Amino acid sequence: MVDSRYFALVPAAGVGARLGANCPKQYLPLAGKPMLLHVLETFAASPAIAHCFVVVSAEDAYIDEVIAASSALTGRVTVLRHGGATRHESVLNGLQQIRQQLRDDDWVLVHDAARPGLSESLIGKLIAALRDDPVGGLLALPVVDTLKRDDTDARVAETVPRAGLWGAQTPQMFRYALLRRALEEVAEVTDEASAIEALGLAPRLVEGSVRNFKVTLPQDIALAELLLKGMS
């Protein structure tokens, strides 16, 4: 039996509207390099990852410069200009484009371009936890804050019990054939694990790291920069 391989797929076709920047947020500079470059170099440096694919929009005017700026990406990263209007579309389009290069039982690690705090150790932890899992899974963190549900007037309607609740992170890791089938059959999901769940399967939760947070709002930029400088 041939061992399964591990591939990274990074959807990076978003525009980052909530950040209010003058370029897509994945290209904003953080600790001396574009946010997306941190992600791509981390995957490129991981010996467990056979190859990394990044999915951008057909009109992307930044990716070529980013790839050319880092010799570490040479031969390790392929750009797919088939990004869609949503994350779901971009990931599915990417999976369809790499069909001839992957076997059905190869693993795909889908990671947000806006999570620059990913580390090689987290990639290794995820792979070690899931390599023999029948479903796959994702990095996530147990919820530690008290949760409130609001009413229509921004007042507390109720306190939501946090026991058993986790905040999903990425990478989310599933076998190629299963992930593609899930995304082809299930629309309107915000992450890959939700599509797998809709098939009646239960992805495994692997504890991630607070460093692996998603840059979404303007104030996240300064925090991400501090964390990245601390990791260097």
Domain residues of the chain, as ranges? 6-231
Q: 6-231 architecture in CATH? A: Alpha-Beta Complex (3.90)
pLDDT digits (tens, 9 = 90+) for 11-47: 999 765 555 557 888 999 999 999 999 999 999 999 9
Tell me the pLDDT of the chain averaged across its residues: 94
Cβ–Cβ < 8 Å for 24, 54: no
Residue 2, number of CB atoms within 10 A of its CB: 7
pTM of the model: 0.94
Give 2's pLDDT tier (boundaries 50, 70, 90).
Answer: confident
CA gap 197, 34 in Å, rounded: 33
